[in-house]
Structure 1
Amino acid sequence: MSMNGAEALLKTMIDAGVEVCFANPGTSEMQLVAAIDKIPGMRPILGLFEGVVTGAADGYGRMADKPAATLLHLGSGYSNGMANLHNAKRAFSPIVNIIGEHAVDHIPLDAPLTSDIEGHASLHTNWLRTCQSADEMPKDGADAVAAAHAGRITNLIVPANYAWTESQGAVPPVAPETRPRVSDDSIAQAAEALKKGQECCLFLGGRALREEGLVLARRIEQATGAKIVCEVFPARIQRGRGRVSVERLPYLGEFAAEVLKDVKHMVVLGTKAPVSFFAYPGKPSVLTPEDCQIHSVATAQDDQLDALQRLADSLGAPELEMPEDPALPAIPGKEEAFTAEAVGAVVANYLPENAIVSDEANTSGIFSYAMYEGAAPHDWLTLTGGAIGQGLPVAVGAAVACPERKVINLQADGSAMYTNQALWTMAREQLDVVTVIYNNSSYAILNLELMRVGVENPGERAKSMLDLSNPSLDWVKIAEGQGVTASRATNVEEFEAQFKAAVEGKGPRLIEVVL
C-alpha cells in the first residue's frame, strides 16, 4: 500500500506502541488528521486548548509508562501548550509532540502564522528534530518514540509538504533507550554515609516512589535509621493501606528546613536535593543545613529501583516489617464547619480501591494530604513544575491510560480556570473522572505569598488581583455547559452524599464545594 509521509509516520508510531494522540490540529496538520482516519490503531482525542492536550499527554505518560502523541498547530499551538509541557518535563513524562509546520517553500513568505518553531520547541526538550523529507519522516518518528521512553519530551516538527508527499513507507520500531545503571562507587559511598550513625535522610523522587521502591527504602530505613522524605511535588507516588508511608517535604521553605534541620547526610535518588520554590527576603534558598553532605546516587532518568535494590543489599537490609495502617480520618458531623479538611476526610473515606488522584488542590489540600495514608491503595499525581492549570488535563490523561480505574481530581478553582476546557474532553470521551472543585473565590496561595515576600498591609488594588469573587465563578454552570453532570455542596452532609454517589457511578462528574 502506498503511503504519504503522514501515513508512514503514523504507521511507524503505532507499530512502536503509541496508541493515543491528544490533538488540537490546524491546517498544516490536515494530512496527519486524514492519516489517523485511514490508518487503524491510534485513538484521536480532541482538546479545545493546547494546554489540555499537553497536560493530558503528561497524565497519560505518568500512568501508562509509555508515550502518547500530541498533535499541535505550528509555533503558536505549541506555545499554548508550554506551561503543561514545563510540568511534564519536571515529571520526566514520556511524550511525543508532533508539531505541524508550513510547507518548506511557504516559510520564506512569512505568512501570519510563521514563527521560530525550533526556538519554541527547544525550551522543553533535549530531543528536537525537523523532518527533512517524506522518506525520513517515519525514521524520525521511530527515533522520537524510542527517546521518549527514557522519560523525555520529544518534539518532531513536520513540514506540511513532506506530510502530503509520497513516502517509501513505515519503518520498524527502534529499541527504547534503557535507563543508565548507577555505578558501584555511588552505591558504596551512599552505603558508607548511611552507616555513620549520624542523622541521615533518604530523599526520594521519580520511580523510587513506586510501591517496589518504597519497600526497598523502608528496608534501608530499618537497617540504618535513616528517615525517608519525598520531594514536594512527586510525579506519581503509590500510597494507601498496605503500602509504605513517606513523609512529604512541605512546600513552604521554612517548614521544609525544619524537617531537615538535623540531617548530616542526604542520599538522593530520583530527584535533586531540595531548594526553596522561590527566593524570599532574608531566607535561605537551600533547604538542607550547611553541614549536610549531599550524596546524589541516582537521577530521575537513572535506574532508581536497581540502585535502591543494590543499596539495600549492600547494607544487609532486613525483610520489610510493615507497621499497622493509619486510621482513616473521622468525617465531621453536619453541625461542624465545612472546611477543606472536611472535604479531604470525606474523600479519604470513600476513595475507591486503585483510584488515581490528580491533585491540584493547592492551599485547599495542604493539610489534607496525610489523611489519605489510611485510604484504599491509590496513585497520587501532583503539580510537578508548579505551573497551574495541570490538574484537570492530567486527570484526562490518567483516565485514558487506565480506563478501568476511577480518577479523582482535587482541584483549586483559580487554577481550574486555566484549562477548564478539559471538562469538555471528559464529557466527549465519557471518562471516569470525579472532579472536586474547591471554590474559595481566591488565588489563596498568592495571598499567602504576598505576605511571605514581606508586603505589609496590601491595599484594595493589590488584593483585587488575587480575588475571584467579583464576579463569583459558578462551576456547576461551567461544567454543565461543557456536558459534565455537576452539583454544589455547601456542607459536609451534602458533600458526603454527592461524593459517594459520584464514585459509585461511572463517567465524568463535578462537585463544587463552596468554602
Structure 2
Amino acid sequence: MNGADRLCDVLLANGIDVTFANPGTSEMHFVAALDRKPAMRCVLGLFEGVATGAADGYGRMAEKPAAVLLHTGPGLANGLANLHNARRAHTPIVTVVGDHASHHLAFDAPLTTDIESLARPMSHWVGRASGPESVGATAEAAIRAAETGRGVSTMILPADSAWGPVEAAPVTPIAWPVPPLPDAPTIERVAAALRAHGTRAGIVLAGRSSYGAALETAGRIAAATGARLFGEVLSARTARGRGRVPLERIPYPIDLALAALKDLDVMILVGGQEPVAFFAYPGKPSRILPESCRVETLAAVGEDEAGALAALAEALDAPAQAAAVPVAAPPALIEGLAGPLTDDAITRVVAALLPENAILADEGLTSGRSFWSLSASAAPHDYLMIPGGAIGNGIPMATGAAIACPDRKVVALQADGSAMYTVQGLWTQAREGLDVVTVIYSNRAYAILRLEMQNVGAGHFGRNAERMLDIDAPALDWVSLARGMGVEAARAETAEAFRDLFKAALGRRGPFLIEAVI
C-alpha cells in the first residue's frame, strides 16, 4: 500500500467517489491507485479547465466535493479560471495537484513551479503532503476545509509521497460538526429591520438558501413582511419555474442595478456578500445599494442558511406557506413564433419546452439574458450560472451537473465565443454518454465585450476594435466541431427549425448540440 492508495481510501471514506482528471507523469501512482478502487468514477477532461469546471457543476448539484487531479503547476494554472468560478460559487472541491518528488525539486526541472502561490488566490485551503505517512491527514484536512468552508481545497501531492509505502490501516469518515446558526440577537435584529422597513427591505439569497426548503422559508418571510427577494447577479444555483418562490435577479448592467435597488433601506444577506458593480465605470459608483441602505448578515457562507431562515420565520410569525404567484402558461411563450431565429425566440422555446426537473446551465451571456424572467413560467428546474464571471465554464459546468444527476436532463445555453474556451468538454460528454443538450448562441462575436466597450466609454469601434470583438472570419462551424468530438449536432436558422430540433433533442438521451444561428 502506498500514499496514493491512502489518498483514494480517505476520499472514498468521505463520500468523494468522482475524480475529474487531466494527469501527467507525477500523478501516475495516483492514477494507478484509482485503477485499484472500482468505487471511484474517473472522468477525463482533455483540458484542465474542463476538469475544474466539471467539478464545479458537480459540487453545486451533488452538494459534496468531487476530486480534481491536475499535473504540477502549469496544469493547475490551466484550470484556475474555473476554480475561480467555483470559489465564487462556494462549491466544495478537493483539488489534488501532483508535484515532483521532493528530492527532485532542488534541480529546478522544467515543470518546477511555486504551486502554493498559484493555488492560493483560488483556494480556501492549501496544503502539501510532507511524506507518504502524512497523506491521509493532509487529505482529511483538505476535505474538511472544502466541506465546512464550502470552497476549493488544494492538496499538493509530491510524487514520492504518492509512491512511498504506508502501513495499512482502516480509514474512518470525518465526524462533521453541525453548521452554526446565527445567535438570538442577530435573528431579532434582522427581524426588527424587516418589520420596520417592509417593502423597502430586500433579502439576497445565495449559497444554499436559493433552493429547497430554504427558498420556501424565504417566501414565507416575504409574505409576512413584504420584503423583496433577490437572487445574485450570477447565481450559483437557484430553484426556478412554476410553483417555486420567485426571486428578482439583480441586473448585470449597472444602471439597471442602481434603478432596481434605489428604494431599499435595508438589505439582508443570506449565504453571500453585498452585491456590487461587476466592473468600475467612469462616473458611476462601485456600490449599487443606496448609500443610506443598511446591510445585515443573517447567515454567512458555511453557516446553516436554511436553519437561519427558519429561525427568522419563527421570529416573524410567518405564514405556513408563501403566497402563490401567477405566471404565464408555457404554450403562450411560443404561439405564433416564426421567421429568422433570434435570441429571444431561443429563450422562449427553451422556457416553453424545458422538461420537469431539468438542470439549466446558463453561459448565454448577452444572448441569454432574457431567460431569467422567462424561467418563472417554465417547468420546475435548477438554474446554474457563473458567479465568478470567468467565461468558459458553461460546457464543463453542464458536464459535471449531468454526472451528479444522471436521471435529469441538462440543458446548456452557451455563447459561442466563451464556448471555445473549453469546447473539449463536448468530448467528455460523448465519452461519458451524458444527457446534455447544448444550445450555441451563434452570433459570431464577443457581444458582451461590445456592450462593455460602450459602458466604459472607450470610444468608437474602428477596424482594430472590430477585429478584437468579431469571430466571423472564419466563421466557427459548430456542427462540425461537435461531430468531431463525438456529439451529434444540427443547425437551426429559423424559429420553427430551432423549436423542432430542441423538442427532438429533449426526446432522446445522450449529448446533442444545436447551433442556433442568430
TM-score for the superposition, normalised by structure 1: 0.98
Query: Aligned AA for 1:211?
Result: G
Question: Retained in 1: the 8 A contact 2:182–2:299?
Answer: yes
Inter-partner Cα distance in structure 2 for 1:117 and 1:281: 37
Inter-partner Cα distance in structure 2 for 1:260 and 1:435: 34
1:331 CA drift (Å): 1.1
Query: Aligned AA for 2:156?
Result: I
Question: Retained in 2: the 8 A contact 1:278–1:285?
Answer: yes
* 1:284-330 Cα deviation digits (max 9, x unpaired): 11011111111122122221111111111101111223233443242
Question: Retained in 2: the 8 A contact 1:4–1:166?
Answer: yes
* 1:205-262 Cα deviation digits (max 9, x unpaired): 1111013122111111111111111111111001111111111111111101101111
Which residue matches 2:364?
Answer: 361
Residue 321 of structure 2 corresponds to residue 322 of structure 1: no
Residue 168 of structure 2 corresponds to residue 165 of structure 1: no
Residue 400 of structure 2 corresponds to residue 401 of structure 1: no
Matches within 5 A, 1:87-166: 87-150=85-148, 151-166=150-165
Query: Aligned AA for 2:324?
Result: M
- 5+ residue gaps, structure 2, are none
Query: Aligned AA for 2:316?
Result: L
Inter-partner Cα distance in structure 2 for 1:165 and 1:126: 28
22, 25, 33: which is aligned to 2:23?
Answer: 25
Which residue matches 2:482?
Answer: 479
Which residue matches 1:412?
Answer: 415
Return 390-399 or 320-329, whichever deviates more. Answer: 320-329
Question: Retained in 1: the 8 A contact 2:23–2:71?
Answer: yes
Matches within 5 A, 1:102-501: 102-150=100-148, 151-170=150-169, 171-197=171-197, 199-320=200-321, 321-328=323-330, 329-331=332-334, 333=336, 335-501=338-504
Inter-partner Cα distance in structure 1 for 2:122 and 2:177: 19
Question: Secondary structure at 1:149's aligned position in 2?
Answer: helix
TM-score for the superposition, normalised by structure 2: 0.97
Inter-partner Cα distance in structure 2 for 1:18 and 1:438: 35
Inter-partner Cα distance in structure 1 for 2:370 and 2:211: 23
1:15 CA drift (Å): 1.4
Question: Retained in 2: the 8 A contact 1:10–1:138?
Answer: no
Inter-partner Cα distance in structure 2 for 1:67 and 1:335: 44
Question: Secondary structure at 1:21's aligned position in 2?
Answer: strand
Residue 72 of structure 2 corresponds to residue 74 of structure 1: yes
- 5+ residue gaps, structure 1, are none
Query: Aligned AA for 2:210?
Result: L
1:139 CA drift (Å): 2.1
Inter-partner Cα distance in structure 2 for 1:509 and 1:382: 20
Inter-partner Cα distance in structure 2 for 1:281 and 1:327: 42
Query: Aligned AA for 1:317?
Result: A
Question: Secondary structure at 1:182's aligned position in 2?
Answer: coil
Inter-partner Cα distance in structure 2 for 1:371 and 1:334: 15
Runs of 4+ in 1 over 3 A off after TM superposition: 332-337
Question: Retained in 1: the 8 A contact 2:124–2:146?
Answer: no
Residue 17 of structure 2 corresponds to residue 53 of structure 1: no
Return 218-227 or 418-427, whichever deviates more. Answer: 218-227
Question: Would the alpha carbon gap of residues 208 and 312 (structure 1) be closer, same or farther in structure 2, given more than 3 Å must change?
Answer: same
Query: Aligned AA for 2:486?
Result: G
1:182 CA drift (Å): 1.3
Question: Retained in 2: the 8 A contact 1:146–1:175?
Answer: no
Query: Aligned AA for 2:30?
Result: L
Question: Would the alpha carbon gap of residues 218 and 334 (structure 1) be closer, same or farther in structure 2, given more than 3 Å must change?
Answer: closer
* 1:314-355 Cα deviation digits (max 9, x unpaired): 011112232334432421535444211101111111111110
12, 15, 22: which is aligned to 2:13?
Answer: 15
Question: Retained in 2: the 8 A contact 1:359–1:391?
Answer: yes
Query: Aligned AA for 1:196?
Result: A
Inter-partner Cα distance in structure 2 for 1:257 and 1:363: 19
Inter-partner Cα distance in structure 2 for 1:66 and 1:203: 23
Inter-partner Cα distance in structure 2 for 1:334 and 1:232: 29
1:141 CA drift (Å): 1.4
Query: Aligned AA for 1:340?
Result: D
Question: Would the alpha carbon gap of residues 169 and 121 (structure 1) be closer, same or farther in structure 2, given more than 3 Å must change?
Answer: farther
Inter-partner Cα distance in structure 1 for 2:215 and 2:233: 16
Return 314-323 or 280-289, whichever deviates more. Answer: 314-323
Return 153-162 or 296-305, whichever deviates more. Answer: 296-305
1:437 CA drift (Å): 0.2
Question: Retained in 1: the 8 A contact 2:124–2:145?
Answer: no
**Equivalent residues, number:** 513
Question: Retained in 1: the 8 A contact 2:197–2:265?
Answer: no
Query: Aligned AA for 2:179?
Result: R
Return 183-192 or 377-386, whichever deviates more. Answer: 183-192
Question: Secondary structure at 1:196's aligned position in 2?
Answer: helix
Question: Would the alpha carbon gap of residues 140 and 216 (structure 1) be closer, same or farther in structure 2, given more than 3 Å must change?
Answer: same
Question: Retained in 1: the 8 A contact 2:358–2:382?
Answer: yes
Query: Aligned AA for 1:275?
Result: V
Inter-partner Cα distance in structure 1 for 2:261 and 2:304: 26
Which residue matches 2:516?
Answer: 513
Question: Retained in 2: the 8 A contact 1:24–1:71?
Answer: yes
Aligned identity (percent) is 49
Inter-partner Cα distance in structure 2 for 1:74 and 1:155: 12
35, 46, 56: which is aligned to 2:33?
Answer: 35
